[in-house]
Homo-oligomer: A and B are copies of this chain.
Amino acid sequence: MSFKSEAASFKPEAIDLSHHLSTIAKARQTSPLKGLPSPAYFPFSDISGSVLAANSFPVDRNEGTSSFSWFWNLFGGGKERTTSVTIPKYPTRLSTGLPQLQKIVKEYSDKVYDPAYGNYQTLLHAGNTDAWSKVVLTLCNPGDGVLVSKWTYPSAMASMRPYGMVPVPVDIDTQGMRSDALRTILSEWDAEARGMPRPRVIYAVPIGENPTGTTTRVARKKEIYQICVEDDPYFVLQEGTYVPKSQRARHTQNPAELDDEKFIASLEPSYLKFDYQGRVIRLDTFSKTIAPGCRLGWYTCNPMFAERLERAAETSTQAPCGFGQSLVAGALLEWGYHGYMRWLKALRLQYTIRRDFFVDCLVDEFHMTTAPGAMGTMWDGAQVYQGFANPQRSLTGYFSEKVSTTSPLISFVPPTSGTHVKIHFDQHPSFGTMDTETLEMKLFIALAEVGVLFGPGAMFSATGDWSSDKSGHFRISFSSAENNEMKKAVQIFGKTIREFMSTPQI
């Protein structure tokens, strides 16, 4: 069975309609007798939204009396600068709203990703998760393998498994998928032994991959470039290298000085930038920049892929929600391209400030040292932070004396996106009698019981296999926490892990 060989829609073949398409398209616009409900019978006469000004947030870290003054202004009596965007006659405008938004996203892909070939297309979709599920069904047949990072986004794996498509894990390092490991897998592929043809598709999350938070840089991208599906919700949120608090001021570039071109140049480029053959299908979303849960984004890919993906949508999700399209287009038209760039620059700074504060909290809570990552591990070449139980915490009354202060409890590489923390379960008294996965789940539940939710590493394994070793892993997200909450959560984490690591489990 081939998913690709069947057209998603079929047409009567009595007559070649290709010469009549413009006639039919015109009649579709003007015919009074066509299969649409009447716009007069829908209750929304207009919809509108209050949209923050594009420059609501600072792009300069030092603006105001504190980094968070914008925040307190926003909620504490300072006035929000909003504009009301109104979309009149919602149902009537639906058909024109869509082309407007199509134009906006095409311009964005043009300017921000600057693909290396000319006739690429953009196509709106209903969110990256659904977009990926349509892509994998379009590109692969049951039994095909898809090359993925060894630790990756679990929903992407879960959407292909029921169709018999198999994740083929590739080793990772601090830049995500390793190009040398990829080359070895592909060059040594034995279709018979593996029971599947050599994979043709790579699923890549080049920026802030879940759970590791790794970012793939230019040279690596050029090595990996192949047919590649680039799922990249965090592109504009690249937070750059963590600089310790004490050295921060002089290392911080003032993003306010960046014009649009410099801002784009400061981001790791998309795979599209090197895609001179139309091999890449890029997935973008508005979920991280305009509204969570809006289920709206777009593909950038070659026209052949775009046509197939459009057919796939026709028989399932159809166009994304018209309300969402109208409101997002309304905000972007209000701001214009430069306004949206201004918004994105500030967004990146705000997430960078949160990342810095979160790592600062870890540095405060643990006794922290740094060391080069061990050769041959995924942190080879990176500066690894190792967190020991901090003797000073005993003064606060919740330090357990039983925990070692000479072996690290946790280690991590400060991320450019959500944080990936390794937990040294070999320090646990039950290590050896209880496997690492079980210890990880027990710590996950112990943390949930005190109100702190981390993503357990095991759920991010591409293959669902748990390769038992000395360490467990958690994915920690700092994106939605306020400073005081973040501080408190890290203190609870410190206390909980010290207790957990000194208490035998049953």
Give bound CA distance, A40 to B453, whole Å. Answer: 20
Interface residues of A in 82-99 (CB under 8 A from B): 82, 90-91, 94
**Contact flag A43-B32 (CB < 8 Å), given A6-B162, A291-B91, A314-B158:** no
Which stretch of A214-222, A422-430, A472-480 is in the interface?
A472-480
Question: Are A23 and B295 touching (Cβ within 8 A)?
Answer: no
CB distance from A452 to the nearest CB of B (A): 5
Whether, in the assembled complex, A80 has its beta carbon less than 8 Å from a beta carbon of chain B, the answer is: yes
Whether the pair B290, A130 counts as a contact (CB closer than 8 A) is no
Contact B350 A321 (CB under 8 A): no
Among A343-386, those with CB < 8 Å from B are 343, 347, 350-351, 354
What are the residues of chain B within 8 A of A466 when measuring CB–CB? 12, 14
Q: Across the two chains, which residue of chain B brings its CB closest to A447?
A: B27
CA distance A466 to B11 in the complex (A): 11
Given known contacts A36-B480, A37-B292, A480-B34, is B445 in contact with A45 (CB within 8 Å)? Answer: no
With contact pairs A51-B43, A453-B34, A486-B32 given, residues A458 and B295 touching in the complex (Cβ less than 8 Å): no
A163 at the interface (CB under 8 A from B): yes
With A and B bound together, what is the CA distance between A154 and B444 in angstroms? 48
| Interface pair A94/B293, CB less than 8 Å apart | yes
Q: Which of A113-121, A169-177, A272-280, A434-442 makes up part of the contact surface?
A: A434-442
**B-side contacts of A455, CB under 8 Å:** 35
Q: Which of A1-57 contact B (CB under 8 A)?
A: 1, 3, 6, 8-12, 14-15, 17, 20, 23-24, 26-28, 30-52, 56-57
Q: Is A318 an interface residue when CB atoms closer than 8 A count as contact?
A: yes
A227 within 8 A of B: no
A146 is an interface residue with CB less than 8 A from chain B: no
Q: Are A8 and B49 in contact (CB-based, < 8 A)?
A: no
Interchain Cβ contacts under 8 Å between A and B, 18 examples: A6-B162, A9-B158, A14-B437, A14-B438, A27-B451, A33-B476, A36-B480, A37-B479, A38-B350, A41-B57, A44-B49, A47-B327, A91-B291, A94-B292, A133-B315, A295-B318, A295-B322, A322-B324
User: Is A294 an interface residue when CB atoms closer than 8 A count as contact?
Assistant: yes
A255 contacts B by Cβ under 8 Å: no
Chain B residues, Cβ within 8 Å of A155: 9, 314-315
Q: Quick check: is A287 within 8 A (CB to CB) of the other chain?
A: yes
Q: Whose C-beta in chain B lies nearest to the C-beta of A312?
A: B162
* Complexed CA–CA distance, A70 and B456 (Å): 59
Residues of B within 8 A of A71 (CB): 40
Which residue of the partner chain, among B23, B39, B127, B327, contacts A445 with CB atoms under 8 Å? B23
Kindly supply a per-residue 1/0 record for chain A positions 96-119, scoring 1 wherever the CB is within 8 Å of any chain B CB and 0 otherwise: 000000000000000000000000
Smallest Cβ distance from A58 to chain B, in angstroms? 13
Q: Is A320 an interface residue (CB 8 A)?
A: yes
Residues of B within 8 Å of A292, CB to CB, are 36-37, 39, 42, 91, 94, 322
Report which A residues bind B (CB closer than 8 A). Answer: 1, 3, 6, 8-12, 14-15, 17, 20, 23-24, 26-28, 30-52, 56-57, 71, 74-75, 80, 82, 90-91, 94, 126-127, 129-130, 133, 137, 142, 154-155, 158-159, 161-164, 287-288, 290-296, 314-324, 327, 331, 343, 347, 350-351, 354, 418, 435, 437-438, 440-442, 445, 447-449, 451-456, 458-459, 464, 466, 475-482, 485-486, 488-489
- Chain B residues closer than 8 Å to A449, beta-carbon distance: 23, 27
Chain B nearest CB from A70 CB (Å) reads 9
A162 / chain B contacts, CB cutoff of 8 Å: 3, 6, 8, 137
In the bound assembly, the distance between CA atoms of A426 and B442 in angstroms comes to 77
Q: Choose one: B8, B9, B74, B440; the contact of A40 (CB below 8 Å).
A: B74
Most buried by B among A24, A80, A161, A453: A453
In angstroms, how far is the closest chain B Cβ from the Cβ of A468? Answer: 10
- The 4 A-B pairs at the shortest CB distance, nearest first, are namely A321-B321, A32-B485, A293-B322, A32-B481
- Does A33 contact B129, Cβ atoms closer than 8 Å? no
Q: Indicate if the CB atoms of B489 and A33 lie closer than 8 Å.
A: yes
Contacts of A441 in B (CB 8 A): 12, 14-15, 17
Q: Is the CB of B126 within 8 A of A126?
A: yes
Further 6 A-B residue pairs, CB within 8 A, beyond A10-B459, A40-B74, A295-B320: A3-B163, A12-B440, A12-B441, A32-B485, A35-B479, A37-B292
A10 to chain B, nearest CB (A): 5
Question: Is there contact, CB below 8 Å, between A478 and B33?
Answer: yes
Inter-chain CA distance A318–B290, complex, in Å, is 17
A12 and B456 contact, Cβ closer than 8 Å, known pairs A20-B448, A316-B129, A479-B38: yes
